[in-house]
């Protein structure tokens, strides 16, 4: 028997965590951004509306999860996915062995909620949300949303089969320049989430201040979110955190996530005093090489079409957006 429940309180969402992890592990296309390690801290730190998460069970086992909330704003009453804003890939979770009944239950339950528009944003290619049907009485608009340049990985960890020769040459030059200023090492942050985040805040802020801008991490709520999320991401093995030291000094940091053969380059920062040595490129090169050594197949640069991403050989993959609006069918 398939049942569905709408969770409206944070305590109920938190109580779901063990089952949530089990469902997430069974969903091959799920990313770390759909895990409770990411979304529970997000809700606790932002809570921008009224929680309306739909939990679907098949004979008592969690087989579907639509992490949703209702937001009242200038664009009306909208049903949205948890993670909006700070998260590059949003989605629902559907157990592959029970996808059809779970999908139907989410569709039916969502129709019973009080919304004017149901927005499904930042859906990666292959996202489970692309399987949801347009609710009765609604009109759907759909299209591309954000470009997420992605590098397909192949070959050895010298990057020779997946990164263009020009970028590999630039990387060798950056390492040579760094070595002239002192011993150069890239070291995992281990379980030092708090210390790593302190370094990230300092270096990310310094980089953006040099440009006369504030940067993403200037917002105190965003800082609280990452302080809350990072320990759980580290414990679950999803975080890939690294420091670049040149002559013993932290010159740059890499904040990424990694799972199921895919690495996600989420944030970084570097000391402007070392800009000539390209610490960001050194850290990305190290992360790509590490992913190759682990048998990984994709390196995601995430949202944004900055030129440097294409220099690594990344190609645009477009996130999708679906919008259901009542009364327009």
CATH number of the 2-146+319-326 domain? 3.40.630
Nearest-angstrom CA–CA distance, 214 and 226: 17
The pLDDT score that the predictor gives to residue 33 is: 98
* CATH 3.40.630.30 domain range(s) in the chain: 150-311
| pLDDT at position 312 | 98
Bridge partners, 79 (sequence order): 70, 118
Q: How far apart are CA 252 and CA 89, in angstroms?
A: 25
Angle formed by the axes of helices 220-235 and 193-210, nearest 10°: 140
What does the chain come to in residues? 329
Q: Spell 266-305 as b/e; 16+ CB within 10 A means b.
A: bebbbbeebeebbbbbbbbbbbbbbbbeeebebbbbbbee
Strand partners for 195: none
Predicted TM-score of the model (pTM): 0.95
Q: Say what the pLDDT of residue 250 is.
A: 97
User: Phi, psi (5° rounding) for residue 322?
Assistant: -125, 135
Q: Which two tokens stand for residue 68?
A: 């949703």
Q: What is the pLDDT of residues 87-143, one digit of tens each?
A: 999 999 999 999 999 999 999 999 999 999 999 999 999 999 999 999 988 999 999
What's phi and psi for 122, nearest 5 deg? 50, 50
- pLDDT < 50 regions, the chain: 329
DSSP label of 271: -
| pLDDT attached to residue 191 | 83
Question: DSSP H helical segments within 181-296, as ranges?
Answer: 193-210, 220-235, 279-293
What is the helix, strand, coil percentage profile of the chain, to 5?
40, 30, 30
Query: Which residues have C-beta within 8 Å of that of residue 165, sequence separation ≥ 6?
Result: none
Q: Which CATH class is domain 150-311?
A: alpha beta
CA distance 103 to 93: 9
DSSP state of 35: S
Q: Which residue has the tokens 């090492």?
A: 185
- The partner residues of 6 in beta bridges, in order of sequence, read 54
What does the pLDDT read at residue 189?
92
Q: Which pLDDT score, from 0 to 100, does residue 190 have?
A: 83
């Amino acid at each position: 028997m398939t049942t569905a429940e709408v969770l409206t309180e944070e305590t109920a969402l938190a109580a779901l965590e063990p089952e949530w992890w089990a469902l997430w592990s069974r969903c091959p296309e799920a990313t770390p951004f759909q895990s409770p390690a990411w979304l529970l801290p997000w809700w606790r730190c932002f809570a921008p509306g009224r929680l309306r998460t739909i939990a679907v069970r098949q004979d008592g086992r969690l087989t579907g999860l639509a992490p949703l909330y209702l937001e009242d704003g200038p664009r009306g009453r909208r049903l949205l996915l948890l993670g909006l804003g700070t998260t590059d890939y949003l989605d629902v979770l559907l157990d592959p062995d029970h996808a059809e009944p779970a999908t139907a239950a989410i569709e039916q339950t969502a129709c019973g909620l009080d919304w004017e528009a149901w927005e499904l944003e930042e859906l990666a290619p292959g996202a489970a949300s692309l399987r949801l049907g347009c609710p009765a009485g609604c009109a759907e608009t759909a299209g591309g949303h954000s470009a997420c340049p992605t590098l397909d990985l192949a070959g050895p960890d010298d990057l020779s089969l997946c990164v263009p020769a020009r970028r590999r040459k630039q990387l060798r030059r950056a390492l040579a320049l760094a070595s002239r200023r002192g011993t150069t090492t890239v070291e995992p942050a281990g379980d030092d989430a708090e210390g790593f985040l302190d370094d990230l805040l300092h270096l990310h802020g310094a980089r953006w201040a040099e440009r006369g801008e504030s940067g993403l991490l200037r917002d105190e709520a965003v800082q609280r979110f990452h302080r809350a999320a990072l320990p759980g991401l580290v414990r679950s093995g999803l975080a890939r955190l690294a420091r670049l030291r040149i002559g013993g000094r932290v010159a740059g940091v890499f904040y990424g996530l990694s799972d199921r053969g895919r690495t996600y380059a989420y944030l970084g920062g570097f000391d402007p005093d070392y800009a000539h040595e390209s610490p960001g490129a050194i850290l990305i090169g190290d992360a790509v090489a590490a992913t190759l050594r682990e048998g990984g197949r994709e390196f995601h640069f995430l949202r944004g079409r900055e030129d440097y991403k294409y220099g690594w050989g990344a190609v645009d993959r477009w996130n999708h957006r679906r919008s259901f609006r009542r009364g327009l069918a």
